[in-house]
């Protein structure tokens, strides 16, 4: 009876068949090709039967290996066969026309002396004319009928003219529909026909290890495709001033890829490529994309209002840590703990209390304070949200209305050195949304875009808390703030 060596013989058989399909029965070797002499057969007697049984046994074993058994009804079948499975090249051939190159023409930053902006002054002193600055990026067509293109805010910021080049080399001048610095998303529009849009995927369903492809225009070379995997989800801390929920990928993203597409292996748009970690100026396998769920929410507001109108419910929160969960005697491992409630806010009217643990918003599980801020901050002002929370180990649900984020602190609470500044709630901090030219706030050193996190070492998270802290500050005001990713300490007398 044949033993495990039969399996080796069968493996050898497969290798040979792949190499030369005409061999047939010759594989049995020279002994099998020679007919046994009749006298040997006669003399063999019982031995002949034994030898025949040996070969029959081998043949039967091979037949058992080669012929598949009957498939049971419960046995799962392959979803996509090798014949019908689409290659990545086929997918890319369909979707790459939806990714465009963007060229931005803008003027170089003006000199600090205002006289340099006077053309007569420049001509009299023979100063060189202001140079135009050219920059390149990428974009994704998301609505072929209306010509909408998603890209990054930093790609088109301060643009004088925006040019869009399609894969078929047609060129158009784009209109800026709107832009949002906090999420680094901008929306363009072109008047063109025969466009192809990328269908949206579910960025919330991504898992670490999923295959993804980045498409863009690195270094102005032209459309380029790179592949990788999802390295991490829910990344934050890249830009303290904004709303962050980045997809991290090792697909190569280089300068010029900004605004390009991050797509799944089956061609669905799941992210807008935005940033990289580049200690040496190039790609090191750490890139970040804005999830399409966030980008599409921003896009809807830009189409409707031309800007993003932030919402609020009037709470400050912090992450639910293992230590907090143990102190609160709860088993949940993720959520946002309510730290304080503003008076007369939607949260106060709905009955939320400090110490409540928010677990979900509109049936979306909340992973932490940043996730909650993103959900509330990007919700449509005036819409209703359903919040599931935990209090005294009991789950409860409440519905409340999203209010507009406060644009300014109360005038009487703003001291004279800060007059002319406007403040806005943003991602659990306070952002200087605008500074009037020549105002006291400008002379004090504040700049639009500054993120204030503390007043006289007292942490603040909302405009109302800023107003209260300024009211109690007295004469000298010390502000902890972030500007351009750097932390500053500003003292205002």
Domains observed in the chain? 5-66 (no CATH), 87-303 (2.40.10.120), 311-404 (2.30.42.10), 411-492 (2.30.42.10)
For the entire predicted model, the pTM comes to: 0.62
**Alpha helices in 219-334, H assignment, sequence order:** 292-305, 322-328
Tens of pLDDT, residue by residue over 141-177, are: 999 999 999 999 989 988 888 999 999 999 999 999 9
- Residue 454 has a pLDDT of 87
Residue 99: strand, helix, or coil: strand
When pLDDT is averaged across residues 32-61 and rounded to a whole number, the result is: 41
* CA proximity to 427, closest of 304, 278, 294: 294
44 — phi, psi (to 5°)? -65, -45
Confidence of residue 199 (pLDDT cuts 50, 70, 90): very high
The DSSP output letter for 222 is: -
- Of the listed ranges 21-30, 184-193, 379-388, 438-447, the least confidently predicted one is 21-30
Vertex 385, ends 381 and 386: CA angle to 5°?
Answer: 170
CA 358 – CA 374 distance, rounded (Å): 14
CA 36 – CA 31 distance, rounded (Å): 9
Compare 217 and 17 and report the one with higher pLDDT.
217
The DSSP output letter for 200 is: B
Tens of pLDDT, residue by residue over 296-326, are: 989 999 998 888 888 888 887 888 888 888 8
For the chain, the average pLDDT equals 76
The helix or strand, by DSSP H or E, that contains position 135, with its residue range, turns out to be strand 132-143
- Of the listed ranges 11-15, 29-33, 442-446, the least confidently predicted one is 11-15
Q: Are 443 and 419 in contact (CB under 8 A)?
A: no
Confidence of residue 489 (pLDDT cuts 50, 70, 90): confident
Compare 250 and 129 and report the one with higher pLDDT.
250
- Residue 422 has a pLDDT of 79
When pLDDT is averaged across residues 210-238 and rounded to a whole number, the result is: 87
Taking residue 439's Cβ as centre, other Cβ atoms within 10 Å add up to: 16
* CA proximity to 294, closest of 379, 195, 391: 379
With pLDDT > 90 as the criterion, what percentage of the chain qualifies?
Answer: 26
Q: Is the pLDDT of residue 26 over 50?
A: no
- Residue 428 has a pLDDT of 67
CA 304 – CA 310 distance, rounded (Å): 14
Which of the residues are catalytic? 154, 184, 258
Confidence of residue 107 (pLDDT cuts 50, 70, 90): low
Compare 139 and 22 and report the one with higher pLDDT.
139
Which of 97-111, 196-210, 472-486 shows the highest mean pLDDT?
A: 196-210
Q: Is the pLDDT of residue 272 over 70?
A: yes
When pLDDT is averaged across residues 250-260 and rounded to a whole number, the result is: 87
- Residue 119 has a pLDDT of 57
Q: Is the pLDDT of residue 68 over 60?
A: no
When pLDDT is averaged across residues 363-389 and rounded to a whole number, the result is: 86
Residue 25: strand, helix, or coil: helix
- Residue 80 has a pLDDT of 37
Residue 490: strand, helix, or coil: strand
DSSP sequence for 450-484: -EEEEETTEE--SHHHHHHHHHHH-S-EEEEEEET
């Amino acid at each position: 009876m044949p033993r495990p060596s039969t399996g080796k013989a069968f493996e050898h058989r497969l290798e040979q068949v792949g190499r030369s399909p005409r061999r047939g029965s010759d594989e049995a070797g020279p002994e099998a090709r020679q007919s046994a002499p009749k006298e040997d057969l006669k003399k063999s007697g019982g031995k002949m039967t034994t030898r025949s049984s040996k070969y029959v046994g081998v043949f039967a074993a091979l037949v058992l290996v080669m012929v598949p058994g009957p498939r049971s009804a419960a046995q799962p079948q392959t979803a996509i066969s090798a014949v019908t499975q689409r290659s990545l090249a086929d997918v890319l051939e369909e979707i790459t026309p939806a990714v465009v190159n963007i060229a931005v023409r803008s003027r170089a930053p003006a000199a600090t002396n205002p006289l340099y902006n006077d053309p007569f002054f420049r001509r009299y002193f023979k100063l060189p004319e202001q140079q135009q600055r050219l920059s390149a990026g990428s974009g994704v067509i998301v609505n072929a009928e209306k010509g909408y293109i998603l890209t990054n805010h930093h790609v088109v910021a301060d643009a004088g003219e925006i040019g869009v080049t399609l894969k078929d080399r047609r060129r158009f001048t784009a209109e800026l529909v709107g832009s949002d610095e906090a999420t680094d998303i901008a929306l363009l529009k072109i008047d063109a026909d025969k466009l192809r849009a990328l269908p949206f995927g579910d960025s919330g369903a991504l898992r670490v290890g999923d295959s993804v492809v980045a498409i863009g225009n690195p270094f102005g070379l032209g459309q380029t495709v790179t592949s990788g995997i999802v390295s991490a989800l829910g990344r934050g801390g890249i830009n303290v001033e904004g709303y962050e929920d980045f997809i991290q990928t090792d697909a190569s993203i280089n300068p010029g890829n900004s605004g390009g597409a991050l797509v799944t292996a089956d061609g669905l748009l799941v992210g807008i490529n935005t940033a990289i970690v580049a200690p040496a100026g190039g790609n090191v396998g750490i890139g970040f994309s804005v999830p399409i769920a966030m980008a599409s929410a921003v896009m809807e507001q830009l189409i409707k209002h031309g800007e993003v109108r932030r919402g609020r419910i009037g709470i400050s929160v912090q992450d639910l840590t293992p230590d907090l969960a143990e102190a609160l005697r709860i088993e949940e491992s993720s959520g946002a703990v309510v730290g304080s409630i503003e008076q007369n806010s939607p949260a106060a009217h709905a009955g939320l209390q400090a110490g409540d643990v928010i677990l979900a918003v509109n049936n979306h599980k909340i992973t932490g304070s940043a996730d909650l801020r993103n959900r509330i901050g990007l919700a449509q002002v005036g819409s209703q949200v359903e919040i599931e929370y935990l209090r005294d180990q009991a789950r409860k649900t409440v519905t409340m209305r999203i209010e507009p984020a406060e644009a300014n602190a109360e005038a009487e609470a703003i001291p004279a050195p800060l007059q002319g500044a406007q403040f806005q709630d943003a991602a659990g901090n306070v952002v200087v949304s605008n500074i009037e030219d020549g105002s006291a706030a400008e002379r004090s050193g504040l700049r639009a875009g500054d993120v204030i996190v503390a007043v006289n070492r007292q942490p603040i998270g909302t405009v109302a808390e800023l107003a209260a802290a300024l009211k109690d500050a007295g004469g000298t005001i010390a502000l902890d703030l972030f500007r351009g990713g750097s932390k500053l300490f500003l003292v205002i007398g």
